[in-house]
Amino acid sequence: MKEKSICQNTLLAQPKHFLQHFLVLILSLSSTLPFAHSFDYGDALSKSLLYFEAQRSGHLPYNQRVTWRHHSGLTDGLEQGVDLVGGYYDAGDNVKFGLPMAYTITLLSWGVIEFRDEIAAVDGELRHALEAIKWGTDYFIKAHTHPHVLWAQVGDGYTDHLCWQRPEDMTTSRRAYKLDEENPGTEVAAETAAAMAAASIVFRGTNPQYAQLLLHHAEQLFEFGDKYRGKYDSSIKEVKGYYSSVSGYRDELLWAALWLYKATHNITYFDYAILNAESFGGTTWAIREFSWDVKFAGLQTLAATLPTEGRDKEQKQILQQYRSKAEHYLCANLNKNNFTNAKRTPGGLLYTRRWNNMQYVSNAALLLTVYSNHLRSTDQTLDCQTDSVGPTKILSFVKSQVDYILGSNPMGLSYLVGYGSAYPMRVHHRGASTTSYKDDKVFVGCMQGYHTWFGRHDPNPNVLVGALVGGPDKNDEFRDKRVNFAQTEACTYNTAPLVGIFAKLHELEKGSSSNTIASASLPLLSFI
């Protein structure tokens, strides 16, 4: 990781990038030509959903489309006498981490709740999105074996990372870790409650019994997480260094309460979010990061979209405080605060930190897209310190970030693997970088994988379609090497927020292709 940068293309690529944008502007302003530098967001949507099939653990179904994968983790939980087969691997390793898995399902569900029709507009993709969510929630049902017991991890980062093996060949520890009254883990209990509550909204119309079951688990998990409060990485020390909770569990508690309120309309959960708004930091923290760990901006945005009619004066006031913190975050990303704005790369990408920066980009883009929807449906604008921003302008900024992801960037690469003609070929991923189990069932040993597959210069034998990798550094530079995991590793919560966003942009593009004025009116350049 400390290797020197060998990236050399950036300076050459940059003028081309600006020329492309210049051309986009010219073409979109002319009357009849189609939107020139437009991306196929429908294709991106389809690809993003394939990624979740590649990350599946357990017994793969007959209709599995990512066929280079095979069954794996079939004895997960066996040692402890519990069935923990299924769920998702979080990234390029083979551990099942409860916190990011649940967060992934919450984000996927949010995308479907907001953009269900837009997803359904691309043939077959609503079904795939529902399958991606259910693969997670089916697992959470298994993992929640008692009202106050949640199995929150299978395998551990330390032993897993000593080996480079396809999940189909794993010989590493598959020990499972549980949370209970003596070993509490509020972050995971509350995030899993949020995921199941959000998913219950998704399934309400099509599978009401399943939705009811999810709600039942969500309510129990919230009660467990709230009543037995404790940081989960104190109970499961093995998660430290991988998914340690820096922000603690108070953000997850507010987040879960708001999702439960959204799912049940039970005023108890609303009151919880109001009563604890200040003491839990919900209305006091203004943080420019939204992630699997730090959820203040997410819960503030969620609270900001709740209707205010019928609330008393104090409730209205607290909702307004949530809203003002949400808007601070959103305005920072739009570069419209007087002082505290998000950093950007010279190519215009939001930049938070070197390690897996793309997660912050796609997570921010979801909040912006959701809020843009809210503003449009309530006929409002976002009043930032330096400017008032309407829903269309917010979406055009989201589009600039998504277009950067899909190839409109100085490297000329799509950071969504498998999209377009140029994308990362050496994604840091055990399964994708090793020959497919389907083609060669000969066992790949722990160290053998490092020797034979990890260290190779050749591209991965399997394309991890739909994965959003960690992405470029602060100078828009990217080194496509397996060892460079800060940039070439993908995570499920990078892609999850993109599903709904791709669908929304796809709809927008369809609407504007018959009307070039509409695309010209998207102020593409104003943010770059």
Q: Are the C-beta atoms of 334 and 527 separated by less than 8 Å? A: yes
Per DSSP bridges, beta strands 343-344 and 350-351 are antiparallel
Can residue 219 be called a binding residue for ligand NAG (CB under 6 A)? yes
Phi, psi for residue 164 in degrees, rounded to 5: -125, 90
- The smaller minimum CB distance to ligand NAG, of residues 187 and 327, is found at 327
Catalytic residue numbers, as ranges: 428
Between residues 234 and 268, which has the closer beta carbon with respect to ligand NAG? 268
Nearer to ligand NAG by C-beta: 154 or 197? 197
Strand partners, 178: 151
Q: Looking at beta carbons only, is 5 or 284 nearer to ligand NAG? A: 284
Q: How far is the CB of 232 from ligand NAG (least distance, A)?
A: 22
Handedness of CA 201, 202, 204, 205 (dihedral sign): positive
Minimum CB separation from ligand NAG for residue 282, in Å? 19
> Under rule CB under 6 A, how many of the chain's residues touch ligand NAG?
5
Q: Which is nearer to ligand NAG, 377 or 386 (CB)?
A: 386
Is the CB of residue 350 less than 8 Å from the CB of residue 344?
yes
Among 268, 284, 378, 515, the residue binding ligand NAG under the rule CB under 6 A is 268
Q: How far is the CB of 464 from ligand NAG (least distance, A)?
A: 40
Q: Angle at Cα 393 formed by Cα 407 and Cα 309, nearest 5°?
A: 130
Which residues have CB under 8 Å from 425's CB, separation 6+?
Answer: 459, 460, 480
Nearest-approach distance from CB 267 to ligand NAG, in angstroms? 7
Compute the Cα dihedral for 72, 77, 79, 81 and give only its sign.
negative
Contacts of 12 by beta carbon, 8 Å cutoff, 6+ apart: none
Q: Pick from 244, 315, 385, 521: which binds ligand NAG (CB under 6 A)?
A: 385
Quote the crossing angle between the two packed helices 492-513 and 358-378, to the nearest 10°. 50
DSSP single-letter state for residue 179: E
Minimum CB distance to ligand NAG smaller for 20 or for 385: 385
Cα(134)–Cα(448) distance, integer angstroms: 35
Told to check if 340 binds ligand NAG by CB under 6 A, we report no
Contacts of 222 (CB under 8 A, 6+ apart): 189, 190, 193, 253, 256, 257, 260, 269
Span 42-81, contacts to ligand NAG by CB under 6 A = none
User: Minimum distance between the CB of residue 199 and ligand NAG, rounded to whole angstroms?
Assistant: 18
* Structure-block tokens of residue 73: 């983790």
d(C-alpha 155, C-alpha 257), whole Å: 30
Please identify, using beta-carbon distances, which residue of 69 and 325 lies nearer to ligand NAG: 325
104/200 with CB nearer ligand NAG = 200
Amino acid at 200: S
Distance of closest approach, residue 266 Cβ to ligand NAG, in angstroms: 4
DSSP 8-state symbol, 438: T
DSSP bridge pairs for 350:
344
Fill in the amino acid letter for 88: Y
Angstrom distance (rounded) from CA 212 to CA 199? 10
- Shortest reach from residue 8's CB to ligand NAG, in Å: 41
Judged by beta carbon, residue 219 or residue 507, the one nearer ligand NAG is: 219
Q: How far is CA 516 from CA 28, 127, 308, in A?
A: 6, 32, 38
Q: Is 209 in the site for ligand NAG (CB under 6 A)?
A: no
Amino acid at the residue 336: K
CB of 219 to ligand NAG, least distance (A): 5
Q: Which of 8, 338, 421, 514 binds ligand NAG (CB under 6 A)?
A: 338
Nearer to ligand NAG, 320 or 385 (CB): 385
* CB environment 98-127: b (16+ within 10 A), e (fewer): bbbbbbbbbbbbbbbbbbbebbebbeebbe
- Binding-residue pattern over the window 309 to 328 for ligand NAG, x denoting contact by CB under 6 A: --------------------
Rounded CA-CA distance 459/478 in Å is: 16
- Give me the helix-helix angle, 250-264 and 208-227, nearest 10°: 150
Tell me which residues in 172-201 interact with ligand NAG (CB under 6 A).
none
Does residue 266 bind ligand NAG (CB under 6 A)?
Answer: yes
- Please state, in angstroms and rounded to a whole number, the distance separating the CA atoms of residues 225 and 214: 16
End-to-end CA distance of the chain: 29
Q: Find the shortest distance in angstroms from Cβ 198 to ligand NAG.
A: 17
d(CA 329, CA 297): 6
The least CB distance from residue 272 to ligand NAG, in Å, is 9
Residues that bind ligand NAG (CB under 6 A): 219, 266, 268, 338, 385
